[in-house]
């Protein structure tokens, strides 16, 4: 959801009406961003199904084909849970266009049923609508009598710098990636430059159970590093973490858009938000991917030369300290990261793309 917020702000600033249709905890998060929001599924426990989906797709030992099949089935179920409310919201609010992100297939299905233009908003590396999830949705056929629905939207917004992807995938309307945070408030030390290099550690907000163990292992691996280590626990409580090394600062959430520009490196799980936030800030990365699209993200980081990827199923967790030292000491990683940051900054701002979307109506 968060990668769509900058476009929503740009549309509001341009005088358009904007309504975010979502559900669950997202409604509270969006209220902090000042975006008009509607709960599209107030009577469905979408969060529980999403949490189960995250658990099912974050098991390192799951074969890729099986994980993809589970993911498509999960997103189809979430789509069915939200479709009625989305379609009702679109019609009641008389929307002129629907902007959705790749996995939220109900957004495209509802737009097609309502007969309004649809725009796929990328959230990282270019990808299309989850076609197999759209095909698995039951509600469009059973409730609305819809035939086979097209997985092709009317337009695509691409937030990926060209050098991070292959030419055959670099299509759609280019737009600058603008980081958007969960809503954490910056502390007075986060926007200052430390005397030693600053390294950020985060494993996102959706790694169940294992995320805490990964944070602990990362902290242990960076104990002897001559650096200030900032650790985001992804919302996990800190009461039982015990004493931390002297070079480590802990927080439940960190405002990444404020923190990353002052960092020399970031250690993370390969999530698109952290990866592209680091790219926008020009910060080299050490990635420990597992599950979902994270291995693909890590491959792109390595291929472009902006960071290192480690395998957590082998000895990756023990290699964190060595990998961070390598990206700090080898200037090629920093140069490549700064090149991508400049490339991202040169792409059209969300306000320019809002104008293109408006012309669809």
**What are the φ/ψ torsions at residue 37 (nearest 5 degrees)?**
-135, 145
CATH number of 2-158: 3.40.50.2000
Q: Which one, of 244, 258, 274, lies nearest residue 266 by Cα?
A: 274
> Is the C-alpha dihedral spanning 355, 172, 183, 199 positive or negative?
negative
CATH 3.40.50.2000 corresponds to the domain 198-345: yes
Angle at 198 between CA 210 and CA 217, to 5 degrees: 25
> Are 120 and 101 spatial neighbours (Cβ–Cβ below 8 Å)?
yes
CB atoms within 10 A of CB 331: 10
- To the question of pTM greater than 0.85 for the whole model, the response is yes
Query: Could you check whether 2-158 and 198-345 share the same CATH topology?
Result: yes
Residue 216 makes CB contacts below 8 A (sequence gap 6+) with: 241
Going residue by residue through the chain, which has 361 residues, state the pLDDT in tens, using 9 for 90 and above: 889 999 999 999 999 999 999 998 888 888 888 899 999 999 999 988 988 888 787 776 777 788 889 889 999 999 999 999 999 999 999 999 999 999 999 999 999 999 999 999 999 999 999 999 999 999 999 999 988 889 999 999 999 999 999 999 999 999 999 998 765 555 555 555 566 899 999 887 655 445 567 777 788 888 888 888 888 877 666 666 677 778 888 887 788 888 899 999 999 988 899 999 999 999 999 998 877 778 899 999 999 999 999 987 777 677 888 999 999 999 999 999 999 999 999 999 999 999 999 999 8
- What stretches of 216-336 adopt beta strand conformation (E)? 228-232, 248-251, 265-268, 285-287, 307-309
Residue 23 makes CB contacts below 8 A (sequence gap 6+) with: 39, 40, 41, 42, 44, 46, 47, 82, 85
229: three-class secondary structure by DSSP: strand
What are the sequence ranges of the domains in the chain?
2-158, 198-345
- Burial class, 248, CB count within 10 angstroms (exposed 0-12 / middle 13-18 / buried 19+): buried
């Amino acid at each position: 959801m968060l990668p769509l917020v900058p476009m929503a702000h740009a549309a509001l600033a341009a005088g358009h009406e904007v309504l975010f249709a979502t559900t669950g905890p997202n409604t509270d998060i969006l209220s902090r961003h000042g975006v008009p929001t509607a709960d599209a599924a107030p009577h469905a426990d979408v969060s529980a199904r999403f949490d189960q989906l995250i658990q099912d797709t974050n098991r390192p030992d799951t074969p890729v084909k099986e994980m993809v099949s589970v993911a498509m089935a999960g997103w189809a179920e979430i789509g069915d849970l939200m479709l009625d409310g989305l379609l009702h919201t679109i019609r009641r609010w008389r929307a002129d266009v629907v902007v959705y992100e790749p996995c939220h297939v109900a957004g495209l299905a509802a737009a097609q049923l309502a007969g309004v233009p649809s725009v796929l908003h990328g959230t990282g590396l270019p990808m299309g609508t989850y076609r197999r999830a759209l095909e698995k949705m039951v509600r469009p056929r059973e409730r609305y009598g819809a035939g086979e629905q097209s997985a092709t939207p009317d337009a695509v917004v691409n937030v990926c710098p060209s050098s991070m992807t292959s030419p055959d995938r670099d299509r759609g309307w280019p737009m600058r990636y603008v980081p958007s945070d969960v809503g954490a408030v910056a502390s007075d030390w986060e926007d200052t430059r430390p005397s030693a290099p600053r390294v950020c550690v985060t494993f996102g907000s959706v790694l169940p159970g294992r995320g805490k163990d990964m944070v602990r292992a990362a902290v242990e691996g960076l104990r002897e590093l001559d650096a200030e280590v900032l650790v985001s626990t992804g919302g996990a409580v800190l009461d039982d973490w015990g004493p931390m090394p002297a070079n480590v600062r802990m927080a439940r959430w960190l405002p990444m858009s404020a923190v990353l520009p002052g960092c020399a490196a970031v250690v993370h799980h390969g999530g698109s938000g952290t990866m592209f936030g680091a790219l926008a800030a020009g910060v080299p990365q050490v990635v420990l991917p597992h599950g979902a699209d994270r291995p693909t993200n890590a491959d792109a980081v390595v291929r472009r030369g902006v960071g290192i990827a480690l395998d957590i199923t082998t000895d990756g967790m023990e290699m964190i300290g060595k990998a961070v030292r390598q990206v700090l000491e080898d200037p090629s990683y920093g140069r490549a990261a700064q090149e991508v940051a400049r490339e991202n900054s040169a792409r059209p701002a969300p306000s320019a793309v809002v104008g293109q979307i408006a012309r669809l109506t």
